[in-house]
């Protein structure tokens, strides 16, 4: 009898435990997306290998050493984003991506297989793929940064909820409508002709994101001219009296018309007031901002100046519907560069140019980690040429069917250097600098010191990427042992909308033997009026390491490779918790 009682008590206790577990599970997700996470090979690969970057020297392009270096990274975007979490954490202003739409028509590959429409885990695989990359991308954005994501009806609803979860519903800015099809639209639906896609827009901190107004290019509606045409432009007339603003006694004063009559702001029994104070009216009268016509009083609203005489550029808030560019246009743009069709489903570079231009900073860093044919790089280069900006782009793509080498890189090279278009016309290049980097891997081993030594030898390009210093100035060896290198590059300093470029030098010390360390410090010290950074190999903790180099005044010191390993470990632990 007692054994039965004990069994019942154990059963009740177990039921109680399960009930508590159910409560915890329910409390974790009250609203939003729930899906079965499907393991991904490229993520599992990181349990055994560490991604690094290798420079492909014969693809380097330099036309102007005074401008920032743009970057093309060949490799899986999960690995590239992992590297960027070390080199560019909190440094990216704008992210644009055009992910696979998961149509079921061989547009989305997961673990080396196409995901078709009949796959019961189709949406789960897509969400697992996007979620991991969005979390990595979020950590790259500046507080004022924004992300633009192209999508269509296949995954728009899921993507919106996923972005709400990762970026925060309170950071949602807009769901732009892009009318991508010319004419009457396509036949994607049996019930409606679909002629649009979407672009989801989020900020890391929405309140800090500034979306630039669109410049009003023409003065339609400003039909009158006067002696101030060259400076103020054309103008239109607006009645001075108003019935829409709140009544104020100080704005209810008499105006003497040229014929001697007295004019009050009230009309037809309606109580009104003037829009300008009496002093402002007298100023307007003196400076030719006032017109008397048919017994009424008007102010002149000029196209090129405000109502205080200050020169301005008229603009308007962007509309969330984009109708200017089509998918057909994108195809023609790419064919014009290559003289044949080399890529499907490219976006018009003018569309991406507008999205990047919404961010006001002309020195912004723009990331596209699903770069495809390189449209974002093309857009950034054209925008820089147009407004004199110093924007830098970072593009990431795999090399499936040689797309990175033969399409992405080739397009960027032609746009930089110039090309002959489909009509045989010579198109002048935009100029600029480009580094081609490729993801490679270091095997993890149980002997951590040995792994750190191998990583130290392989992390040069990561450090060059972090500091934007790709020009090798000096290399010092002791026999066959590499001791240190000095690299140089350009650093863009932005302040209150203006920017300056300064020379930047980076020293990398590769060995535990510190007998050449003072030599490297002396080399760096000779570069005056420049930024200087030193990366020094150490097996110790950061706090112990930094104390040894406080005398290196004017040189920023960082330890490697421990910081790289810490960031990678954080990323992979986070993914294993899902």
Q: What is the pLDDT of residues 410-450, one digit of tens each?
A: 999 999 999 999 889 999 999 999 999 999 999 988 778 88
pLDDT tens digits, 489-534? 988 776 665 667 789 999 999 999 999 999 999 999 999 889 999 9
Cα 307 to Cα 52, 219, 249, 285, 311: the distances in Å are: 58, 16, 22, 12, 10
Residues 64 and 32: beta-carbon distance below 8 Å: no
Residue 147 has pLDDT above 70, yes or no: yes
DSSP of 334-394, one letter per residue?
Answer: HHHHHSS---SSPPPHHHHHHHHHTB--TT-EEEESS-TTTHHHHHHHHHHHHH----EEE
Query: So what's the pLDDT on residue 261?
Result: 92
Q: What is the pTM of this model?
A: 0.83
Band of pLDDT at residue 477, cut at 50, 70 and 90: very high
Residue 96 forms beta bridges with which residues? 148
* Mean pLDDT to the nearest integer, 280-285: 96
Phi then psi dihedrals of residue 124, to 5 deg: -65, -40
Query: So what's the pLDDT on residue 324?
Result: 84
Compute the radius of gyration of the chain from its Cα atoms: 31
Using a CB cutoff of 8 Å and minimum separation of 24, what contacts does 61-64 make? 61/412, 61/413, 61/416, 61/417, 61/432, 61/433, 61/434, 62/433, 63/416, 63/417, 63/429, 63/431, 63/432, 63/433, 64/431, 64/432, 64/433
Residue 23 has pLDDT above 80, yes or no: no
Strands 498-509 and 113-114: unpaired
Print burial letters for 121-149: b (CB count within 10 Å at least 16), e (below 16): ebbbbbbbbbbbbbbbbbbbbbebbbbbb
Phi then psi dihedrals of residue 564, to 5 deg: -60, -45
**Highest mean pLDDT out of 2-6, 80-84, 418-422:** 80-84
Residue 118 has pLDDT above 90, yes or no: no
| 304's tokens | 């090129």
Residue 501 forms beta bridges with which residues? 492
Phi then psi dihedrals of residue 171, to 5 deg: -100, 5
Compute the distance between CA of residue 437 and CA of residue 457 in angstroms, rounded to an integer. 16
- Range from 113-122, 361-370, 423-432 carrying the lowest mean pLDDT: 113-122
| 518's tokens | 């003072």
Phi then psi dihedrals of residue 232, to 5 deg: -85, -20
Q: Cα–Cα–Cα angle for 150, 151, 156, nearest 5°?
A: 135
Compute the distance between CA of residue 435 and CA of residue 414 in angstroms, rounded to an integer. 14
């Amino acid at each position: 009898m007692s054994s039965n009682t004990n069994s019942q008590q154990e059963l009740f206790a177990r039921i109680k435990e399960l009930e508590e577990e159910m409560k915890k599970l329910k409390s974790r997700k009250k609203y939003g997306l729930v899906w079965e996470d499907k393991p991904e090979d490229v993520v599992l690969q990181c349990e055994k290998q560490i991604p690094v970057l290798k420079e492909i020297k014969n693809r380097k392009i330099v036309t102007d050493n005074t401008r920032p270096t743009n970057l093309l990274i060949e490799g899986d975007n999960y690995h590239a984003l992992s590297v960027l979490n070390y080199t560019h954490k909190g440094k990216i202003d704008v992210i644009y991506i055009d992910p696979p739409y998961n149509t079921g028509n061989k547009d989305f590959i997961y673990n080396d297989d196409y995901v078709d429409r009949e796959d019961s885990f189709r949406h789960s695989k897509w969400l697992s793929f996007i979620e991991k990359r969005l979390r990595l991308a979020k950590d790259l954005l500046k507080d004022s940064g924004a992300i633009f994501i192209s999508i269509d009806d296949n995954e728009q609803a899921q993507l919106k909820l996923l972005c709400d979860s990762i970026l925060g519903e309170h950071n949602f800015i807009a769901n732009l409508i892009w009318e991508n099809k010319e004419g009457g639209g396509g036949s994607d639906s049996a019930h409606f002709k679909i002629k649009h896609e979407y672009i989801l827009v989020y900020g890391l901190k929405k309140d800090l994101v500034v979306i630039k107004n669109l410049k009003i290019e023409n003065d339609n509606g400003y039909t009158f001219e006067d002696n101030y045409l060259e400076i103020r432009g054309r103008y239109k007339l607006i009645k001075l009296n108003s019935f829409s603003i709140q009544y104020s006694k100080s704005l209810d004063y008499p105006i003497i018309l040229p014929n001697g009559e007295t004019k009050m702001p009230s009309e037809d029994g309606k109580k009104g007031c003037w829009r300008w104070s009496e002093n402002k009216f007298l100023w307007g009268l003196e400076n030719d901002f006032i017109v008397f016509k048919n017994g009424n009083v008007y102010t002149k609203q000029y196209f090129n100046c405000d109502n205080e005489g200050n020169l301005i550029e008229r603009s308007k808030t962007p509309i969330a519907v984009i109708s200017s560019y089509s998918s057909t246009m994108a195809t023609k743009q790419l064919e014009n560069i290559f003289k044949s069709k080399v890529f499907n489903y490219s976006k018009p570079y003018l569309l991406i140019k507008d999205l990047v231009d919404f961010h006001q900073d002309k020195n912004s860093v723009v990331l596209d980690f699903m770069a495809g044919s390189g449209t974002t790089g093309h857009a950034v280069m054209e925008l820089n040429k147009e407004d004199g900006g110093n924007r830098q782009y970072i593009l990431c793509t795999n090399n499936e069917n040689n797309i990175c080498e033969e399409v992405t890189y080739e397009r960027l090279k032609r746009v930089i250097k110039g090309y002959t278009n489909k009509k045989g016309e010579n198109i002048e290049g935009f100029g600029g600098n480009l580094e081609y980097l490729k993801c490679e891997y270091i095997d993890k081993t149980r002997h951590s010191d040995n792994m750190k030594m191998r990583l130290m030898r392989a992390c040069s390009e990561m450090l060059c990427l972090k500091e934007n210093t790709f020009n090798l100035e000096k290399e010092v060896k002791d026999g066959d042992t590499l001791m240190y290198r000095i690299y140089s590059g350009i650093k863009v300093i932005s302040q209150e909308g203006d920017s300056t470029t300064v020379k930047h030098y980076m020293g990398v010390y590769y060995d535990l033997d510190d007998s050449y360390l003072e030599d490297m410090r002396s080399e760096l010290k000779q570069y005056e009026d420049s930024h200087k950074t030193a990366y020094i190999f150490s097996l110790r903790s950061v706090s112990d390491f930094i104390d040894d180099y406080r005398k290196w005044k004017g040189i920023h010191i960082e330890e490697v490779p421990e910081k790289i390993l810490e960031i990678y470990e954080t990323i992979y632990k986070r993914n294993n918790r899902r």
